[in-house]
Structure 1
Amino acid sequence: MTTIIERIAALGPEEPFFSFEFFPPKTDSGVQNLIARLRRMAQLNPLFVNITWGAGGSTVSKSLDLAALCTSELGLTTCLHLTCTNMEKKIIDETLSLAKQKGIRNILALRGDPPRGEEYWTPPESQEFMYAVDLVRYIRQEYGNYFCIGVAAYPEGYADGSNPEAQDPKIDLPYLIEKTVAGADFIMTQLFFDTDKFIAFEKMLREHESGIFRSIPIIPGLLPINTYQSFIRTAKLSHAHLPDRVLEKLDAVPSTDDEQVKQVGVDILVEMIDRIYNETCHRVRGFHFYTLNLERSVALILDKSNVVKTPLRLKLVSQNKEQKIEKPVSIESVLADGVKDVKITEKVAVAVPASEASMTAEASWDDFPNGRWGDPRSPAYGEIDGYGVTLHVPAKRALELWGSPETTADISELFIQYLRGTLQVLPWSEEEGLSPETKLIEGDLVRLNKLGLWTVASQPAVNGLRSDDNIFGWGPRNGYVFQKALIEFFVPENTWFTLKEKLQGGDSVSYYAGNSRGDFFSNMNASDVNAVTWGVFPNREVVQPTIIEEQSFKAWSEEAFAIWKEWQRLYPRTSKTSHLINMIHESYYLVSIIHHDYVNTNALWNFLQI
């Protein structure tokens, strides 16, 4: 296989290109559906694809398998992410060796986030890989020029969250120089939405007196806007500045209408690409899409942009008759409207129609991209940022927020403060505040938390509100939305078994429960699925963007308990707080309850009168 640099060199001097990034989904069904999606997206002819790497090597086997499939079966030039902080040298050596065996010739060398905890404030002297530059040097030392190596850059400056105002790309410049000198072949940036800042950053690098950046490819990282909520969330997590003109365009359409938001997002990205290409005098000609494992927005951008407009135009061919091409179809219709596979045969694109059920599911995945509560069969189900389990706030701020609880009553008080709005964030939440719908059931949630049921997710029942409702609305206009009441909480083991008896006798409730030891209980079959939100809109089938079932609950339960361990690492191991959190991690259950009587808005809360 060729390297990324070799592929770029084979292009014309100003010929643009694009690349995609994917992450391994958490569930097996998500992985299988991502593979089907990859087969389709490969036909758009990206110059290369990136496969992300979970924090601490948590997705090492999935990442390698996915990268190998892209390389061997799809014939794609593939770049494997590799982080080094807090990573055993053995894992790095094994990964590089396996990558070479599988024909992977490109590595994006990243530092990754350092672990939290008092014992880690000063990195141990024995640690060989403290920074990305250490990994770059090591790869060059061990493998020479076999691997093409990319490194990360931050057009707005690196931010760890403790002081966003301190972001300044000039501060990071010496580190980027060091990585480039150590052997980097290309630079890929963090996502951004401020085109002016990227253009200034690129100019600063090109004009640097060392001349080291004069010809190295600088590839901007772009995030398609799929929903308003995910756009704001991701920008906040990455500390990306949001220019007024971008916000004004998005504010011109209802934030709950995902289709309109997606269309405006496409226009924003197209404008960014065109400006960057033209205002850098074509020096920047590659554009990397953080796809979030979604395809429709990317396809629309490629189809609309004059810069990266893909030359591929697929043609639909009948599979039942021996006849020639019937009609041309657009890229968007091939990717989003129900073609599950595309085969190129002697310059003729043969599109194989998907089944009706598959078409409906795949359209829903891209129309309403899921977060944690979503469809576990979706290619987009899983950890999207590659950081793995995290508290979402820096260690110093976490200690300021949560202090040092020493009793379960102290923990209960933190949850209650969060519900009442006097505490900004909990380890299982982000600094976005409670949603308006949660405030409507605040009293019920506070009552449960006082009883020691620590709630981490909930929603009230809704029976047919308009899709433009200020609190519950989502989706296209002139529709109606519904949702079942649900609640999820941590609970002591003895309380769980008392509650279990009550749940077993409930005709209108479904539940899942599990602990960190792997014990699992449910009154559902493994194949059963609970739709907890759905919408009815003009000219389309009923949409069920959020479902809960065994596979998704187990995936989230594992993460939820891991967050307790992340919290524990903030404290000395011998402290009362560390012992308390460890006890909770080892003995508590996570319980998810769905009440199916969505017509009665008080049904769940009446059921939980314990």
Structure 2
Amino acid sequence: MTTIIERIAALKPEEPFFSFEFFPPKTDSGVQNLVARLRRMAQLNPLFVNITWGAGGSTVSKSLDLATLCTSELGLTTCLHLTCTNMEKNIIDEALSKAKQHGIRNILALRGDPPRGVEYWTPPESQEFMYAVDLVRYIRQEYGDYFCIGVAAYPEGYADGSNPEAQDPKIDLPYLIEKTAAGADFIMTQLFFDTDKFLAFEKMLREHESGIFETIPIIPGLLPINTFQSFIRTAKLSHAHLPDSVLEKLDSVPSTDDEQVKQVGVEILVEMIDRIYNETQHRVRGFHFYTLNLERSVALILDKSNVVKTPLRLKLVSQGTEKKIEKPVSIESVLSDGVKDVKITEKVAVAVPASEVSMTSEASWDDFPNGRWGDPRSPAYGEIDGYGITLHVPAKKALELWGSPETIADISGLFVQYLKGILPVLPWSEEEGLSPETKLIEADLIRLNKLGLWTVASQPAVNGVRSDDKVFGWGPRNGYVFQKALIEFFVPENMWFTLKEKLQIGDSVSYYAGNCRGDFFSNMNANDVNAVTWGVFPNREVVQPTIIEEQSFKAWSEEAFAVWKEWQRLYPRGSATSNLINTIHESYYLVSIIHHDYVNTNALWNFLQL
């Protein structure tokens, strides 16, 4: 296989290119569906694809498997992320060895963000890889020029979250020089939306007196805007500045109308790409898309941009279409996964826009919000932000917010304060505040938390609210949305078994429960699925963006209990708070309950009158 640098060198002068990034989904069904998506997106002809690497090597086997599939089965030039924070040397050696074994010749060498914020992380003296430059040097030392190595850069300056005002790319410049001098072949940036800041950053590098950045490829990282909520969340997590011009464009459409937000997002990205390519006088000609494992927005951007507009692809369709192409074409090589079951009696090859290659039903079925309450069959389910298991706030701030609880009542008090808006964040939440719909069930949630059922997720029942509703709305205009009431909470073992007896009676509720030891209980079959949000819109099938089933619950349960251990690490070993949190981690259950009577908005809360 060729390297990224070899592929760039083979292009015509000033010829633009693009690349995609994917992450290993959390569920087996998500992985299977991502493979189908990769096959479709490969038809768009990216120069290369990136496969991410979870914090601390948490996705090592899945990342390697996915990278191998891209290289061996799809024939894609593949770049494997590799982080060194809190990483054992043997894991890095094994990853590099397997990458070479499977023909993967490109590595993006990253330090990786410490899972709990920089205050938590002091590199041990025995650790060989403290920074990305150590990893770059090691790869060059052990493998020479076999691997093409990329390194990360931050157009707005690196931010650890403790002091965003301190972001300054000039502060980071010595480290980028060091990484580049150690053997980097290309530079890839963190995502950004402020084109002015990227242009200033690129100019600073190109004009640096050392001359080290004069010709090295600088590839901007771009995030397609799929939904307004995910856009705001990701920008906040990455500390990306949002220019007024971008916000004004998004404000011109309802934030709940995902279709319109997506279209405006395409316009924003197209403008960014065209401007960067032209204003750098084509010095920057590669553009990297953080796809979040979604495809439609990327395909639309490639279609609309004058810079990276893809050539017409070949696709087989039934006779009767226009623009016939006489050139023979292999059916297997161009037939989209999305039309395999269509009976085609007389086949002709036609030219279609790149976006249509990724506009099959499989391409758009997960266009609507994904995340914790998403569809675990989606390749985008459990979308990662690069931080792994985390408290979402730096250690110092966490201690200021949560103090040092020493009793069960203290813990209950923290959950109640969060629901009342006194605390801005809990270990399982982010600093986005409670959703407006939570206010409607606030009294019920406070009552349950005072009883010792510590809620980490919930939603009220909704029966046919318009899709443009300011609280519950989502999706295209002129539709109606529905949702079943659900709740998820931690509960002590004795309370769980009392509640379990009640849950076994009748068929109005479905539940899942488990603990840190892997014990699992449910009244559902392994393959049963609960649709908990759905929408009915003009001219399309019923959309079910959120389902809950056994596979997704188990994946989330493992993370939810891991957060207790992250919280425990804030405190000295053997302290009262550390012991308390450890006891909770070892003895509590996580329980998820769905009530199916969405017509009766009080059904779940009446059921939980304990």
TM range (shorter): over 0.9
Contact 1:509 1:596 in 2 (8 A): yes
Tell me the secondary structure at the aligned position of residue 12 of structure 1: coil
Q: Could you say which residue in structure 1 is the equivalent of 2:570?
A: 570
* CA spacing shift, 1:357–1:70, aligned 2, 3 Å: closer
The C-alpha deviation readout for 1:234-290, integer Å capped at 9, x for no partner, is 000000000000000000000000000000000000000000000000000000000
Task: Give the secondary-structure state (helix, strand or coil) at the position aligned to 1:427.
Answer: coil
Q: How many percent of aligned residue pairs carry the same amino acid?
A: 92
Offset at residue 318 of structure 1 (A): 4.0
Q: 1:346 to 1:67 in 2, by over 3 A?
A: farther
Which position in structure 2 is the counterpart of 1:525?
A: 525
Is this contact kept in 2: 1:481–1:535, CA < 8 A? yes
Report the Cα offset of residue 579 of structure 1: 1.1
3-state DSSP of counterpart to 1:359:
coil
**Pairwise CA distance, 1:565:** 1.0
**More moved, 449-458 vs 115-124:** 115-124
Report whether the alignment pairs 1:22 with 2:22. Answer: yes
Q: Taking structure 1 as reference, are residues 335 and 209 closer, same or farther at Cα in structure 2, changes over 3 Å only?
A: farther
Query: 1:351 and 1:340 mapped to 2: Cα distance?
Result: 18
1:367 is paired with a residue whose SS is: coil
Distance 1:78 1:123 in 2: 30
Q: Which runs of 5+ in 1 are unaligned?
A: none
Distance 1:321 1:241, change over 3 A: closer
In the TM superposition, residue 326 of structure 1 has moved relative to its aligned partner by 10
SS at match of 1:38: helix
Cα deviation code 1:535-583 (max 9, x no counterpart):
1111111111100011111111111111111111111112111111111
CA deviation vs aligned residue, 1:92-121 (integer Å, no higher than 9, x gap): 000100100010000000001225499965
Question: Structure 2 vs 1, CA of residues 182 and 523 (structure 1 numbering), >3 Å: closer, same or farther?
Answer: same
The superposition leaves residues 42-78 of structure 1 with CA deviations (integer Å, 9 ceiling, x where unpaired) of: 0110000000001111111110010001001111000
Q: State the distance in 1 between where 2:360 and 2:521 align.
A: 31
Note the C-alpha offset of 1:527: 0.9
SS at match of 2:570: coil
C-alpha deviation, 1:350, in angstroms: 9.0
- The whole-number CA distance in structure 2 between the counterparts of 1:158 and 1:118 is 12
Deviates more, 1:147-156 or 1:357-366: 357-366
Could you list the per-position Cα deviations for residues 148-203 of structure 1 after superposition, in whole angstroms to 9, with x for gaps in the alignment? 00000000000000000110000000000000001000000000000000000000
For the residues of structure 2 that align with 1:247 and 1:332, how far apart are their CA atoms? Answer: 44
Q: 2:499, 2:11 → 1: CA distance?
A: 65
2:237–2:385 Cα contact (<8 Å) kept: no
| Change in 2 beyond 3 A, CA 1:408/1:19 | same
8 Å CA contact retained: 1:117, 1:569: no
- Tell me if the contact between 2:120 and 2:395 (Cα under 8 Å) persists in the aligned partners: no
Return the alpha-carbon distance in structure 2 between the equivalents of residues 333 and 73 of structure 1.
Answer: 13
Kindly state the Cα deviation for residue 315 of structure 1 after the two structures are TM-superposed.
3.0
C-alpha distance in structure 2 between counterparts of 1:203 and 1:16, whole Å: 19
| Contact 1:516-1:561 within 8 A present in 2 as well | yes
Say which is worse superposed, 318-327 or 200-209, in terms of deviation. 318-327
- Report the more deviating stretch, 38-47 or 393-402: 393-402
Relative distance call for 1:293 and 1:117 in structure 2 (3 A) is closer
CA change 1:246–1:357 in 2 (3 A) is closer
Q: Which moved more, 1:299-308 or 1:405-414?
A: 405-414
Change (3 A) 1:118 1:194: closer
Match of 1:111 in 2: 111
Moved more, 334-343 or 106-115: 334-343
Return the alpha-carbon distance in structure 2 between the equivalents of residues 234 and 609 of structure 1. Answer: 38
Structure 2: distance between partners of 1:238 and 1:336: 35
Cα distance, 1:353–1:211 mapped onto 2, change above 3 Å: closer
Count of aligned pairs: 610
Deviation (angstroms), 1:14: 0.3
**Does the 8 Å CA contact 2:157/2:172 hold for their aligned counterparts?**
yes
Whole-angstrom distance in 2 between the partners of 1:158 and 1:341: 49
Structure-2 change in CA distance of 1:343 and 1:71 (3 Å): farther
Tell me the SS of whatever aligns to 2:293: coil
**8 Å CA contact retained: 2:339, 2:360:** no
* 1:538 alignment partner in structure 2: 538
- 3-state secondary structure, aligned to 2:490: strand
Evaluate the alpha carbon distance shift between residue 507 and residue 317 of structure 1 in structure 2; reply closer, same or farther with a 3 A threshold.
closer
Alignment of 1:491-502 (within 5 A): 491-502=491-502
SS in 1 for 2:190: strand
| Structure 2 unpaired stretches of 5+ | none
Question: 1:328: Cα distance to partner?
Answer: 14
Contact 2:18 2:288 in 1 (8 A): yes
Asked if 2 retains the 8 angstrom alpha-carbon contact of 1:206 and 1:213, the reply is yes
Change (3 A) 1:306 1:515: same
Question: Which region of structure 1 is more displaced relative to structure 2, 576-585 or 598-607?
Answer: 576-585
Q: Deviations over 1:321-368 (max 9, x none)?
A: 999769999999999994469999999969999999999963554420
User: Against the structure 1 CA distance between its residues 348 and 120, is the aligned structure 2 distance closer, same or farther, given a 3 Å change threshold?
Assistant: farther
Deviation digits for residues 377-433 of structure 1, max 9, x if unmatched?
111112422321111111111111111111111111110000000000011110000
Q: 1:202 to 1:356 in 2, by over 3 A?
A: closer
Query: Structure 1's 322 and 260: CA in aligned 2 closer, same or farther, altered over 3 A?
Result: closer
Alignment partner, residue 341 of structure 1? 341
Work out whether residues 39 and 342 of structure 1, in 8 Å CA contact, stay in contact via their aligned partners in 2. Answer: no
Report the alpha carbon displacement of residue 313 of structure 1 after superposing the two structures with TM.
2.3
**For the Cα contact (< 8 Å) 1:390–1:566, is it kept in 2?**
yes
Corresponding residue for residue 201 of structure 2: 201
Q: Structure 2 vs 1, CA of residues 256 and 328 (structure 1 numbering), >3 Å: closer, same or farther?
A: farther
Cα pair distance change 1:563/1:336, threshold 3 Å? farther
Q: Structure 1 residues 116 and 480, CA, compared in 2 at 3 Å: closer, same or farther?
A: closer
Give 1:316 deviation, angstroms: 2.5
C-alpha distance 135-487 of structure 1, shift in aligned 2 (>3 A): same
* Partner residue in 2 for 1:444: 444
Change (3 A) 1:421 1:263: same
Give 1:521 shift. Answer: 0.3
Cα distance, 1:307 vs structure 2: 0.1
The structure-2 alpha-carbon separation of the partners of 1:332 and 1:178, relative to structure 1 and needing over 3 Å to count, comes to farther
- Which whole-Å CA distance do the structure 1 matches of 2:315 and 2:126 have between them? 58
TM-score w.r.t. the length of structure 1 is: 0.94
C-alpha distance in structure 2 between counterparts of 1:224 and 1:331, whole Å: 31
1:342 match: secondary structure: coil
The yes-or-no answer on 1:514 pairing with 2:495 is no
Return closer, same or farther for 1:352/1:170 CA change in 2, 3 Å cut-off: closer
Stretch moving more, 577-586 or 189-198: 577-586
- Deviation of 1:461 after TM superposition, in Å, equals 0.4
How do 1:583-602 residues align onto structure 2 when only pairs under 5 Å count?
Answer: 583-602=583-602
Q: Deviation per CA, 1:480-530, whole angstroms, max 9, x where unpaired?
A: 111000000000011000000000013200000001100000000011110
Change (3 A) 1:97 1:157: same
Deviates more, 1:332-341 or 1:94-103: 332-341
Change (3 A) 1:246 1:498: same
- Paired with 1:322 and 1:238, the residues of 2 have a C-alpha distance of 46
- Change beyond 3 A, Cα 1:355–1:493: farther
- After TM superposition, where is structure 1 displaced by more than 6 Å over at least 4 residues in a row? 319-324, 326-337, 340-361
**Cα 1:94–1:73 shift into 2, 3 Å:** same
